Amino acid sequence: MSATLEHSAAATAPAPAAAAEPVTMAGALNAAMADALANDPRVLVFGEDVGTLGGVFRVTDGLAARFGDDRVFDTPLAEAGIVGTAIGMAMNGLVPVVEMQFDAFAYPAFEQITSHLAKLRNRTRGRVSLPIVVRVPYGGGIGGVEHHCDSSEAYYAHTPGLRVVTPCTPGDAYHLLRQAIACPDPVIFLEPKRRYWSKEAVPAAAAAAIDQAVVRRPGQDVTLIAYGGMLATALETAAAATGEGWDVEVVDLRSLSPFDDATVAASVRRTGRAVVVHEASGFAGYGAEVAARLTERCFHYLEAPILRVTGFDIPYPPPSLEQHHLPSVDRILDAIARLQWDDHA
């Protein structure tokens, strides 16, 4: 075991053992952890209920039985404790992959994440590396009660030193998690709960590097920028928009921090119009950063102001009302319609 914790920054994950059959996102994440555990004895998986139960979403199902209680285990119910002890384990040569049970239940770990996980490399001038993955099931759309549906990405993305990534498909979930585990930086790995049971075959190779955005659907007229749970809604919108005569390009950010300016700006320069979509509240939200960066870089290419379609600036609603809060296909189509098409014509 290496005490220096040197990883190759360019490390790429090998292909999963069985890629041909469609798997759920939960299954793909499970396979990614299983392959990482099998390939690297330093990897540990722990958190609340992740052992015997296999996690409340069953994402760690069977891992404790296969790899033993020393490598996959339940912790006491304390999130700061989970992240804080993971930091110590990483300092002592291990590679922890920890689970926060739900988005809003990760907040007790906030100090450990922002003051220590994010800063220890910087504090020690690069001598201490923390290759830790914090998995956080996030977002709504599942009928969850209070505190089970937050989109907390902006808190993490605002913190220098953290990588923040989120997959939108089972295939990307597998590869992005392998990339996150291989990454020498701490990674906040946001799992869109509403996509846990979506299915597809896992491709043999990753769609892109850990810090790159991907064009999921090419188009000419407007760029829809989305990530995580909203990507599927963006793709649905793009399909519906063809009926309105718009050829929509959909960009999947994947990496919320660092931000892939090159890929996203290139798309917006091509189309001249952009809409950013996310579930989280709009005020001081992640979309504001995206819109500002694109305005700074693409102003002379823009035919219309960049619009945002986000959740309202309210605490996450109860299940009976969440459909009014979440960005919908119609709401995104309406935003596209407001992109000053008449001026252009």
Partner 1 sequence: MTTSPTIAERAAATLPPSASPLGLIDADGQPIDSPVLDLPPDDVLRELYRLMVVGRRVDAQATALTRQGKLAVYPSAHGQEACQVGAVLALREQDWLFPTYRDTMAVLTRRVDPAEALSLLRGEWHCGYDPYERRVAPQCTPLATSTLHAVGVAHAARVKQVDQAALVLLGDGATSEGDTHEALNFAGVWRAPVIFFVQNNGYAISVPLSKQTAAPALAYKGVGYGVRSLLIDGNDAAAVYAAVKSALAHASAGQGPTLIEALTYRVEAHTNADDAARYRDDAEVAAWLARDPLARLETCLRARGLLGDADVAGFGAEAEQCAAGLREAMSGEMNVEPADLFAHVYAGPTQTLAAEQEFLLAELAQTATTEGSPS
3-state secondary structure of 122: helix
List 30, 60, 129, 310, residue binding partner 1 (CB under 8 A): 129
Q: Is the dihedral of CA 281, 104, 149, 216 positive or negative?
A: positive
- Is residue 126 near partner 1 by the rule CB under 8 A? yes
Q: Which of 91, 201, 240, 304 binds partner 1 (CB under 8 A)?
A: 91
With CA atoms as reference, report the closest residue to 26 among 132, 107, 142.
Answer: 142
Integer Cα distance of 57 and 101 in angstroms: 9
Euclidean distance between CA atoms 343 and 345, whole angstroms: 6
Contact call for residue 39 and partner 1 (CB under 8 A)? no
When binding is defined by CB under 8 A, the residue of 119, 269, 270, 331 that contacts partner 1 is: 119
Q: Which of 49, 56, 110, 116 binds partner 1 (CB under 8 A)?
A: 116
Task: Please give the Cα distance from 154 to 135 (Å, whole number).
Answer: 15
Q: What is the DSSP letter of 147?
A: T
Half-sphere exposure of 103 (CA within 13 A, CB side): 25
Cβ partners under 8 Å of residue 144, min gap 6? 102, 193, 319
Q: Is 320 in the site for partner 1 (CB under 8 A)?
A: no
317 is a site residue for partner 1 (CB under 8 A)? no
Interface positions, 248-267, toward partner 1 (CB under 8 A): 258-262
131 or 327, CB closer to partner 1? 131
Q: Does 111 bind partner 1 (CB under 8 A)?
A: yes
* 68 lines the binding site for partner 1 (CB under 8 A): no
Instruction: Determine if 292 is a binding residue for partner 1 (CB under 8 A).
Output: no
90 binds partner 1 (CB under 8 A): yes
Where does this chain touch partner 1 (CB under 8 A) — which range of 14-22, 107-115, 189-197, 278-286? 107-115
CB of 71 vs partner 1, minimal distance in Å: 8
Residue 271 phi, psi (nearest 5):
-90, -30
Tokens of 139: 């977002």
- Residue 64 binding partner 1, by CB under 8 A: no
Q: Are strands 43-47 and 95-99 parallel, antiparallel or unpaired?
A: parallel
| 78 binds partner 1 per the rule CB under 8 A | yes
The answer to whether the peptide bond before residue 96 is cis (omega within 30 degrees of 0) is no
Residue type at 271 in one-letter notation: T
- The residue type found at 280 is A
Nearer to partner 1 by Cβ, of 5 and 149: the residue is 5
18, 38, 40, 124: which one binds partner 1 (CB under 8 A)? 124
- Tell me whether residue 33 or residue 142 sits nearer to partner 1 (CB atom): 33
Interface residues for partner 1 in 172-231 (CB under 8 A)? 183-185, 211
Angle between helices 329-337 and 230-241 (to 10 degrees): 60
Which of 80, 266, 288, 329 binds partner 1 (CB under 8 A)? It is 80
Q: Specify the residue, 209 or 321, whose C-beta has the smaller distance to partner 1.
A: 209
Catalytic residues: 148
The C-alpha angle 129, 133, 136, rounded to 5 degrees, equals 145
Q: How many angstroms from the chain centroid is the CA of residue 111?
A: 20
Interface residue list for partner 1 (CB under 8 A): 1, 3-4, 7, 9, 44, 70-71, 75-76, 78, 80-81, 83-94, 108, 111-112, 115-116, 119-129, 160-161, 163, 183-185, 211, 258-262
